[in-house]
Amino acid sequence: MRVLIAVLLGVWASCGAFTQETPDLRADARLQESLSLTEPLISLRDLIQKVQIQTGAPLAVAPEIAEDKICVLVSDKPAYEVLNRIASSLRYRWQWGTDGKTYVLRMPAVERQRERDLYQLAQRNELQYQQETLRQAIALTQQYSLQQIQEAVNNPDFFKNADRETRSLWTRLSTSSAYCAARALGLLPEAVRERIWTAHRFTLGSELAKYADAPLPPAIERQMLSLLRAMNMNDEESQRLKSVEIIYLPCSQWLNLHFIAVSEAGIEQHLTGAISLSRWDASQRSVVESHALCKVWREWQTDFAELRRLPAAPRAERKPPLTIPEPLQGSAFDVLMNWARSRNLDLYADVYRVRPEGLRRGSRNRPEQTPLEEEAIGAHFEWVAPQFWLRLEGDTLMARHKDYYWLRPSEIPERLLRPLEAKIERRERITLDEWADFATALTPMQLERATGGLRLNHLSGERIVHATTIPMEMIVHTTPALRFWASLTPAQRATVQRGDPLLLERLSPIQRQRFREAFHPTPLTPCVSQAFFSPSMTFRDAHFTLFVPEYWFSESVRRLGEAEARPERFQMRVAGIAPPYSITESEGRLSITLGATPFREPSHPTDKGYLLSFIAEGKERAYMVYQTVPAIAGSEVELPRR
């Protein structure tokens, strides 16, 4: 028996060692075939399949990297060279498959760990920056009044010798909302403030608040109430402070304080203070680039001076212009590709659908759609080059985005994006099942990026989002509801589609959990306060309904209004539409004002959304799933109470 075990272990060890060997692709006659590939945006899986079909060689890619997106623009190069350079540009490795015949592209364990370590390094550095920013903000508000800060910001001489970080801190504290948030946090004990970075969301309350996580000492309550009055954020009628909800959103890097003040008559007033803790420059770039983790990349890259000296080919001899997919147009990759083609270089690069949060659809970093003149190509390349590790080998340029450790795990696969994008382009209605399948397939990092929560260190710290026609803000807000919908059986979906409610008591344990998660969502944005939705709720009379509104918002608001007895306790969660909005009641009529938003009839069937409503104990949490972003422009509407 011992001999048999030893033999089996020896066979297993030899197989494992065999799969770790790096095969010589050049020795395979099939991979001597010349390839010409023009793939500006393709997954590794699809690319390797194409090469396999053209060469007949058995090729595969490990599942963990199969969805990676890559650009390969090559002309008449041997297949083995193409495959080796793909691996080199990504720091992946070709290995033998378990059958000893298939070439498999894998991410080595050391590179997997490097990616994790770089991400954690950036996260730690960012958290330290935010903690220090908050400490400095609190110290400033304790030393200067809001008026003094505003006067300083408006005085050009004050900032003459100040660095950018100092200017940004004073500027962000010059609003009453930010000043109030920092000053109020300064009133709290240090131990309470430290809780922000771990709890992310908690409530301090006086004896008036039964849902508080911790008590609000009377002395601090009085000081905060005086602060709100000094900021002209609170009227004289409010005599008590019921609660202070502190919300730290790591994804958006905002710190929000939600105050509830109460008058002697019991009328509540909701007030909000918020301060941004985000980095206003690219100072984190040097921290990551100079770290030992990036030594392999620093040694791999070509000196930029050598790239700068590379002359452009005569225009008549250049490779023809290439139309790239819309999500990449105007991106840093677009500029990189134009520069490479102007030098007649083959190009290998990892590609991401990256769009800075402020860059709207149709707006581009490079507005010209015609071929750029040489001076413009060079100037734009100077701007984007610091975003990449670049290596020049003969007539080939290889590029790896320096923020790949953020981008690769937060990139949504093309197989998920393209079917919905195609329907949107054709103006075909996307079903609720399709929305649910899409939302449930997303990872936390992909959702975080959809909020603009990821910042590219090499884009001056700009927040980035997914470059897609899919309304990702809506997906972020409605994911809890869509996950609940995904948990339902076909029979249950048919029940609610007929207009019948789905009772909580008849749901399975996992469906009940999804219901509670939708009713008590962990927000990615600060749009909705949790104050009225206590986790201790018994979910009496809880049920779920689905509604397809005939009019944008007006019908939705009417249904929502029926669920609440008091307008001031009305809670509304409409994806993509953030406060401020106000709700009042007069002579039996409910009046809602959504800033300057009119209600309109859909102009196309795809404009109609789905209203997913979760009701319990007379309260309602509603989610609007829509395909076409509603027009925002109008005022107020009065709706009858029934």
Q: Which letter, b or e, does each residue of 431-452 get, where b requires 16 or more Cβ atoms within 10 Å of its Cβ?
A: ebeebbbbbeebeebbbbbbbb
Residue 559: pLDDT above 80? no
Q: How much is the average pLDDT of 194-208?
A: 86
Contact 575, 623 (CB under 8 A): yes
Q: Which uninterrupted H or E stretch holds 205?
A: strand 201-205
Distance, CA of 571 to CA of 539 (rounded, Å)? 16
Instruction: Tell me what pLDDT residue 417 has.
Output: 96
Q: What band does 532 get if pLDDT is binned at 50, 70 and 90?
A: very low
Instruction: Tell me what pLDDT residue 404 has.
Output: 95
Contact 241, 216 (CB under 8 A): yes
Phi-psi region of 434 (alpha: psi -120 to 50; beta: other; left: phi over 0): alpha
Residue 2: pLDDT above 70? no
Nearest alpha carbon to residue 333 among 41, 38, 37: 41
Contact 589, 640 (CB under 8 A): yes
Range with lowest mean pLDDT among 50-59, 132-141, 456-465, 586-595: 586-595
Q: How much is the average pLDDT of 89-103?
A: 96
Instruction: Tell me what pLDDT residue 392 has.
Output: 97
Domain assignment present for 337: yes
Mean pLDDT over the full length of the chain: 79
* Domain's final residue, options 385, 408, 431: 408
Residue 426: pLDDT above 50? yes
Q: How much is the average pLDDT of 519-535?
A: 49
Q: What band does 584 get if pLDDT is binned at 50, 70 and 90?
A: very low
Per cent of the chain over pLDDT 70 is 75
Domain assignment present for 453: no
Range with lowest mean pLDDT among 105-109, 127-131, 213-217, 462-466: 462-466
Instruction: Tell me what pLDDT residue 454 has.
Output: 63
Phi-psi region of 23 (alpha: psi -120 to 50; beta: other; left: phi over 0): beta
Distance, CA of 454 to CA of 404 (rounded, Å)? 12
Residue 21: what are its φ and ψ, rounded to 5°? Answer: -65, 150
In the DSSP assignment, the letter for residue 198 is H
Highest mean pLDDT out of 46-60, 381-395, 487-501: 46-60
163 and 83 within one domain: no
Range with lowest mean pLDDT among 6-10, 121-125, 188-192, 202-206: 6-10
Q: What band does 616 get if pLDDT is binned at 50, 70 and 90?
A: confident
Instruction: Tell me what pLDDT residue 328 has.
Output: 84
- Residue 318: both structure tokens together: 């250049």
Domain assignment present for 178: yes
Domain assignment present for 323: yes
Instruction: Tell me what pLDDT residue 557 has.
Output: 40
Instruction: Tell me what pLDDT residue 566 has.
Output: 36
- HSE on the CB side for 558, CA within 13 Å? 14
Distance, CA of 63 to CA of 71 (rounded, Å)? 19
385 and 257 within one domain: no
* Domain's final residue, options 232, 258, 276: 276
Q: What band does 285 get if pLDDT is binned at 50, 70 and 90?
A: low
Residues in contact with 466: Cβ distance below 8 Å, sequence separation at least 6, in sequence order:
353, 355, 412, 417, 446, 449, 450, 472
Instruction: Tell me what pLDDT residue 621 has.
Output: 80
Q: How are strands ordered across the β-sheet holding 214-215? A: 214-215, 201-205, 238-249, 254-263, 268-276
Residue 565: pLDDT above 50? no
Which SS3 state, helix, strand or coil, does residue 269 take? strand
266 and 194 within one domain: yes
Cis bond leading into 580, ω under 30°? yes
Q: Which letter, b or e, does each residue of 288-311 get, where b requires 16 or more Cβ atoms within 10 Å of its Cβ?
A: bbeeebbeebeebbeeeeebeeee
Domain assignment present for 444: no
154 and 72 within one domain: no
337 and 481 within one domain: no
**151 lies in which domain range?**
114-276
- Distances from the Cα of 313 to the Cαs of 339, 348, 380, in angstroms? 11, 19, 17
Nearest alpha carbon to residue 40 among 320, 321, 322, 365: 322
260 and 126 within one domain: yes
Contact 543, 506 (CB under 8 A): no
294 and 149 within one domain: no
Residue 555: pLDDT above 50? no
- Residue 346: both structure tokens together: 């083959």
* Domain's final residue, options 220, 242, 276: 276
Distance, CA of 195 to CA of 208 (rounded, Å)? 23
Which CATH number fits the domain that encloses residue 60? 3.55.50.30
Counting every residue written for the chain, the total comes to 642
- Token pair 């938003």: residue: 597
Summarize pLDDT for 404-423 with one digit per residue, the tens. 999 999 999 999 999 999 99
Q: What band does 280 get if pLDDT is binned at 50, 70 and 90?
A: low
Distance, CA of 400 to CA of 378 (rounded, Å)? 19
Q: What band does 437 get if pLDDT is binned at 50, 70 and 90?
A: very high
74 and 132 within one domain: no
Highest mean pLDDT out of 43-57, 370-384, 437-451: 43-57
159 and 75 within one domain: no
Summarize pLDDT for 287-342 with one digit per residue, the tens. 888 899 999 999 999 999 999 999 988 888 888 878 888 888 888 899 999 999 99
Range with lowest mean pLDDT among 176-180, 395-399, 618-622: 618-622
Q: What band does 181 get if pLDDT is binned at 50, 70 and 90?
A: very high
Contact 501, 447 (CB under 8 A): no
Neighbours of 268 (CB within 10 A): 16
Instruction: Tell me what pLDDT residue 127 has.
Output: 86
Instruction: Tell me what pLDDT residue 551 has.
Output: 42
Instruction: Tell me what pLDDT residue 623 has.
Output: 83
Contact 521, 514 (CB under 8 A): no
Contact 334, 366 (CB under 8 A): yes
Domain assignment present for 427: no
Residue 361: pLDDT above 60? no
Summarize pLDDT for 365-397 with one digit per residue, the tens. 443 444 456 667 888 898 889 999 999 999 999
Neighbours of 203 (CB within 10 A): 21
624 and 521 within one domain: yes
261 and 120 within one domain: yes
Domain assignment present for 89: yes
Range with lowest mean pLDDT among 41-45, 103-107, 498-502, 628-632: 628-632
User: In total, how many domains does the chain have?
Assistant: 4
- Distances from the Cα of 340 to the Cαs of 256, 312, 377, 399, 594, in angstroms? 46, 9, 10, 11, 49
Distance of CA 87 to the CA centre of its chain: 28
Nearest alpha carbon to residue 560 among 624, 503, 492: 624
495 and 376 within one domain: no
